[in-house]
């Protein structure tokens, strides 16, 4: 999808050739690692049900960004980004609950909450970019048609 895909502040290098180049996917990756770390070392490990639910939500954020990117159309990419944004909101609620009931400490809570919020903001900006550029960049599925036009 090249440089047009990422937009000005969507990547560290300005070019997107793979979903791994997207700053929002990189944030989601860090978020998932942090949730898994908390599930190992915080009191959260004692509540396997909540820990598993948080891990699933965290993994869902990055997975949906990746799946949408690979689907091939802007419409699908936008839809999957909205699913990812929903998962980030779900995780944020779970982080608040885990903190409220004493399963994660203040430091972990603040980091996870801030990272969830940053990921949601990045997703909102990315979705806006995808919508804005959808008429001119339809997606990988249509790349050969665009090249011929």
Residue by residue, pLDDT tens for the chain (149 residues) are: 343 344 444 555 567 889 999 999 999 999 999 999 999 999 999 999 999 999 999 999 999 999 999 997 899 999 999 999 999 999 999 999 999 999 999 999 999 999 999 999 999 999 999 999 877 776 666 665 544 44
What are the domain boundaries of the chain?
2-142
CB environment 66-76: b (16+ within 10 A), e (fewer)? bbbbebbebeb
| CATH class of the region 2-142 | mainly alpha
Sign, Cα dihedral of 9, 12, 17, 20: negative
On the CB side of 137, how many CA atoms lie within 13 Å of its CA? Answer: 16
Compute the distance between CA of residue 69 and CA of residue 87 in angstroms, rounded to an integer: 17
Q: Which residues make beta-bridge pairs with 50?
A: none
Compute the distance between CA of residue 9 and CA of residue 34 in angstroms, rounded to an integer: 24
Measured in degrees and rounded to the nearest 5, phi and psi for residue 22 equal: -75, 130
* Tokens linked to 15: 């070019």
């Amino acid at each position: 999808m090249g440089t047009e895909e990422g937009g000005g502040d969507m990547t560290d290098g300005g070019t997107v050739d793979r979903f791994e180049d997207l700053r929002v996917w990189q944030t989601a990756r860090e978020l998932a690692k942090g949730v898994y770390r908390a599930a190992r070392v915080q009191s959260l490990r004692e509540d396997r049900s909540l820990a598993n639910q948080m891990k699933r939500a965290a993994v869902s954020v990055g997975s949906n960004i990746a799946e949408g990117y690979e689907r091939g159309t802007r419409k699908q990419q936008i839809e999957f980004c909205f699913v990812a944004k929903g998962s980030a909101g779900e995780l944020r609620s779970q982080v608040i609950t885990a903190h409220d009931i004493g399963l994660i400490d203040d430091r972990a809570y603040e980091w996870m909450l801030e990272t969830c919020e940053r990921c949601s903001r990045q997703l909102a900006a990315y979705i806006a970019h995808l919508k804005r550029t959808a008429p001119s960049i339809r997606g990988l599925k249509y790349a050969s048609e665009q090249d011929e036009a």
